[in-house]
Amino acid sequence: MDRAPEPTWSWSPGDELATGLLAWALLGDGRRCETWLAWDLGRWCPVAVKLPRPGQGARAVSGLAAEAQVAAAVAHPGIRRLLDDRLDQPRPHLVFEYVEGPTLDDALAGEGPFHPVDVLLVGMQLAAALGHLHGRGLAHLDLKPGNVVLRDGRPVLIDLGLARPVGEAPAGGHRRGSPPWMAPEQVRRRPASPGMDLFALGAVLFELATGTQAFDPAGTGPPARRWPQLAGPAPRARARSPEIPAAVDRAVAALLAPDPADRPAAAGQALSLLSGAMPADAAEEDRLWPAWATRRLERWRASTMERPPQVPRPA
Phi, psi dihedral angles at 111 (to 5 degrees): -125, -10
Give the pLDDT of the chain (315 residues) as one tens digit per residue: 344 456 789 999 999 999 999 999 999 887 789 999 999 999 999 999 999 998 887 888 998 999 999 999 999 999 999 999 999 999 999 999 999 999 999 999 999 999 999 999 999 999 999 999 999 999 999 999 999 999 999 999 999 989 999 999 887 767 788 889 999 999 999 999 999 999 999 999 999 999 999 998 765 555 666 788 998 899 999 999 999 999 999 999 999 999 999 999 999 999 999 999 988 777 566 778 777 787 777 777 766 665 554 554 543
β-pair partners for 262:
none
The angle subtended at Cα 239 by Cα 201 and Cα 254, nearest 5°, is 35
List of domains in the chain: 16-97 (3.30.200.20), 104-304 (1.10.510.10)
Query: Which of 88, 105, 118, 142 is the catalytic position?
Result: 142
Predicted TM-score (pTM) of this structure: 0.89
Q: What's the confidence (pLDDT) of residue 72? A: 93
**How is 151-193 classified by DSSP, letter by letter?**
ETTEEEE---TT-EETTPPPGGG---S-GGG--HHHHTTPPP-
Q: What's the confidence (pLDDT) of residue 45? A: 97
Cα-based torsion angle of the residue sequence 255, 153, 276, 198 in order, rounded to the nearest 10 degrees: -20
Mapping DSSP to helix (H, G, I), strand (E, B) and coil, where does residue 76 land?
coil
Q: What's the confidence (pLDDT) of residue 312? A: 46
Would you say 100 and 193 are in contact if contact means Cβ atoms under 8 Å apart?
no
Q: What's the confidence (pLDDT) of residue 262? A: 95
Q: What's the confidence (pLDDT) of residue 221? A: 55
Would you say 154 and 106 are in contact if contact means Cβ atoms under 8 Å apart?
no
Do β-strands 138-139 and 154-157 pair in parallel, antiparallel, or remain unpaired? unpaired
Would you say 288 and 126 are in contact if contact means Cβ atoms under 8 Å apart?
no
Clarify whether 84 is annotated catalytic. Answer: no
β-pair partners for 82:
96
C-alpha to C-alpha distance for 82 and 197, rounded to whole angstroms = 21
Cα-based torsion angle of the residue sequence 213, 105, 198, 291 in order, rounded to the nearest 10 degrees: 120
Phi, psi dihedral angles at 150 (to 5 degrees): -90, 100
Would you say 48 and 36 are in contact if contact means Cβ atoms under 8 Å apart?
yes
Q: What's the confidence (pLDDT) of residue 296? A: 78
